[in-house]
Structure 1
Amino acid sequence: MGEPSAGARQALNRSGLASTNYELTPLSHSDRADLFAHLSDARTVEHMDIEPLADLAGADAVIAWATGLAASGDGIRWAIRDRAGAFAGTAGFNALVRERGSRGEVAYDVVRPRWRQGVMAEVLPLVLDHGFRALGLHRIEAMVTPGNAASAALLERHGFAREAVLRDYAFWKGRYWDQWLYARLTGDGG
């Protein structure tokens, strides 16, 4: 990957983002217990590329991965907390591509008690704005595992188009999985 610009690196390392009801801060060790509770739920990780976390070491590994993404300039993952401080999930960019392109892969997950309560409807525009403006991305992509209708509908409501079915694109949980490729360009509505 090409080296991110100084402005993009600064945008990755900035402390966080905020919407009316939520604050996003880089995932850190202080999120450990909440992240474990969240990602140990089998229904939460059903369409994700991980098994349910078995212990706090699993949460530590996710945090280390997120910290490494930000340190290298290859992405960022935020903890989502409501204004009262309750953990609501995570969101961010799992990958940023600067060489021969300007794109990022957005990803998100919400704690099950808050499913279908508008968390990502409020947070996703903030994340997209950060990607397009602060990070200077031209294209933002999202991978959705077939069957995750809620995620597909969210992306479509926010101006993403499903461009392809990537057959047997990913391998996790002992098998190959198709992925729906969604994308939104800088000038697309949403």
Structure 2
Amino acid sequence: MSQIANLAREPLILHTPRLMLRPLESRDAAQLLALFGDPAVTEFMDIAPMADLAEAAGVVDWANDRRAHNAGVRWGVRMAGDERLLGTCGFNLLELDRGRRGEVAYDLAQAHWGQGLASEALSAVIGFGAQRLGLHRLEAMVTPGNTRSVRLLERHGFVREGVLRDHGFWKGRFWDQMIYARLAPFD
């Protein structure tokens, strides 16, 4: 394996046959607001549908902070040659010192569901994690009921390891989280 990527310094643009993934930037906030303003997109997420630009800018700031500290990276997902934001995908959490693991997360605008775009983006992120970060373990947290996410993860070789009862608190209540994982090799 080559040297581990420095997330803060490298451009980190990923390409797939149909997509271009670029780390979120402040100029993405308005499009992120439209994405996360849709209740169908945020139904199983730990956020309520967004109502103002400051919330979306806060997500971009969070993503930039993760990247600056080599603790995560969130890419904006776009069709190749088009700047419109279709969704996001990336690592919400990276443990590079004591575990070589990453927690993947993703979302996609409802208009693009069922087209294989989330699968294509996730494949690119998994490849980056294996090749540039040397990850050994990938994890994903899934809110019960999110069958689309479960199917996506299982297609990519993730297995359900268990349920973390009342693991999170958002939208005024506690939520269970199912933990899915996949171990290297990732090819």
For residues 66 and 156 of structure 2, the distance between their equivalents in structure 1, rounded to whole angstroms, comes to 25
2:166 is aligned with what amino acid? D
1:113 aligns with one of 111, 123, 137: 111
2:181 aligns with one of 156, 180, 183: 183
Q: Percent identity?
A: 49
1:166 aligns with one of 158, 164, 167: 164
Give the aligned partner of residue 18 of structure 2.
Answer: 21
For residues 12 and 181 of structure 2, the distance between their equivalents in structure 1, rounded to whole angstroms, comes to 27
1:123 is aligned with what amino acid? A
TM-aligned CA deviation for residue 109 of structure 1 = 0.2
After superposition, give the CA deviation of every residue in 1:34-60 in whole Å (9 maximum; x if it has no partner): 101000111110100001111010110
1:77 aligns with one of 74, 79, 103: 74
Task: Verify the 8 A CA contact 2:7 2:70 in the aligned structure 1.
Answer: no
TM-aligned CA deviation for residue 22 of structure 1 = 0.4
After superposition, give the CA deviation of every residue in 1:143-172 in whole Å (9 maximum; x if it has no partner): 000000000000001100111111111111
Contiguous gaps of at least 5 residues in structure 1 = none
Contiguous gaps of at least 5 residues in structure 2 = none
For residues 147 and 67 of structure 1, the distance between their equivalents in structure 2, rounded to whole angstroms, comes to 30
In the alignment of these two chains, the number of paired residues is 185
TM-aligned CA deviation for residue 134 of structure 1 = 0.6
Task: Verify the 8 A CA contact 1:161 1:183 in the aligned structure 2.
Answer: yes
Q: Does 1:125 align with 2:123?
A: yes
Give the aligned partner of residue 98 of structure 1.
Answer: 96
Task: Verify the 8 A CA contact 2:8 2:70 in the aligned structure 1.
Answer: no
For residues 10 and 95 of structure 1, the distance between their equivalents in structure 2, rounded to whole angstroms, comes to 12
Runs of 4+ with deviation above 6 angstroms = none
Tell me how large the CA RMSD over aligned residues is: 1.7
For residues 181 and 159 of structure 2, the distance between their equivalents in structure 1, rounded to whole angstroms, comes to 6
1:9 aligns with one of 6, 9, 15: 6
TM-aligned CA deviation for residue 99 of structure 1 = 3.7
